[in-house]
Homo-oligomer: A and B are copies of this chain.
Amino acid sequence: MSDARFGLDRIARLATPLSLDGGASLASVEIAYETYGELSPAKDNAILVCHALTGDQHVASNHPRTGKPGWWTRMVGPGKPIDTDRYLVICTNVLGSCMGSTGPASLRPDGCPYGMSFPVITIRDMVRAQAMLLDHLGIPTLAAVVGGSMGGMQALSWAATYPERVRAAVVIASTARHSAQNIAFHEVGRQAIMADPKWRGGDYYGTGDPPTAGLAVARMAAHITYLSEAGLTEKFGRKLQAREVKTFGFDADFQVESYLRHQGLTFTDRFDANSYLYITRALDYFDLAEEHGGLLANAFRGSKTRFCLVSFDTDWLYPTAESRTIVHALNAAGAAASFVELHSPYGHDAFLLESPELNRVVDGFLRTNGHD
């Protein structure tokens, strides 16, 4: 594949302005993406993989900043369930993020960073940008769109917005709308960022001194919701960190404290605080039923897309009940849907971790995609 549009570390500038749900229009949008595998002559073997809140386009290649392997190499690669020997796999950095796609850290036409003048975006806006990227790549339809967590919301939004372009959707550990508790946790994170004086109303790009303390606290709070109580107990319990006895001080006495602090700190090396604000807002705004007259089934009425829903039994961020709600709506809409709840001790994070069952489910579903 010698076409410069395909490969690792690509950035495309969208040909036309992007019309946003909020009413604004965003010109000169750039979308960073990677592709793996080759497009078939019939251009019918593309799979779009969508990342979660703090993910990126490096689904199966090393992360340029951390050097770590791609975030879903368990799932994407030669011979893997999303088989790059058979499919052209595309992964984009979502609109509003900070790994190369246009977001609040990008420069406005006047040469200044957007900061908080960046328009509030939605999951559907992210999906619209991806659709325009597919146009740019000359890909009319997707064999499948696949994602976990916020990636699953994009998959749902794809199927609802461009039903004729999506033959199958795999929605893992996700939801059709953010609950009050989901919104509450995100609001804590946003307030933590905004309370950091270094945030400066979002105008910190020139300072070289971003609001890392607030962003770290936001990440810590969110991180707890990604893990199960049982998983935390199994991994850490009340074990002390590199000491025999409690110090009767405020150091990280407990391993779980040390772990959380580390999660917060390392996150600030790779993520932009304003992007965190905008993407959490997009998540909180997500309510697929609301976009379709208040009835979720309306989002899928007459859809020919085949759906595969997967939840994890210890996921309390987007619990199984949320997937069931989607399945009921798909059934009511007459759409083809399969659903399985998998067991895992790891809570919401399970979709990113070793899970042979998840691999089997995705592999099986894609193999019966009518394409093989």
**Minimum CB distance partner of A215 in chain B:** B195
What residues of chain B lie closer than 8 Å to A284, measured between beta carbons?
Answer: 254
Q: How far is the CA of A45 from the CA of B195 in the complex (A)?
A: 49
Residue-by-residue, is A196-228 near B (CB-CB < 8 Å gives 1, otherwise 0)? 110000000000000001101100110010010
**Copies of the protein in its oligomer:** 2
Which residues on the B side are within 8 Å of A116 (C-beta)? Answer: 250
Q: A12 within 8 Å of B by Cβ?
A: no
- Whether a CB of chain B sits under 8 angstroms from the CB of A342 is no
The CA-CA distance from A221 to B22 in the complex, in Å, is 29
Tell me which of B178, B196, B232 contacts A238 (CB under 8 A): B178
Q: How far is it, in angstroms, between the C-alpha of A276 and the C-alpha of B197 when the chains are bound?
A: 21
Does A365 make an interface contact (CB < 8 A)?
no
> Within the complex, which residue of B187, B260, B277 is in contact with A220, where a contact is CB–CB below 8 Å?
B187
The count of residues in chain A whose C-beta lies closer than 8 Å to any C-beta of chain B is: 56
Contact: A224 with B191, CB < 8 Å?
no
Q: Does A83 sit within 8 A of B, measured CB to CB?
A: no
- Decide: A257 and B187 in contact? CB cutoff 8 A: yes
The contact of A195 among B181, B214, B260, by CB within 8 Å, is B214
Interface residues of A in 127-181 (CB under 8 A from B): 177-181
Cβ of A260: which chain B residues have Cβ within 8 Å of it? Answer: 184, 187-188, 191
Q: How far is the CA of A153 from the CA of B177 in the complex (A)?
A: 38
Contacts of A235 in B (CB 8 A): 180
- Residue in A187, A194, A229, A316 whose Cβ sees the most chain B Cβ within 10 Å: A187
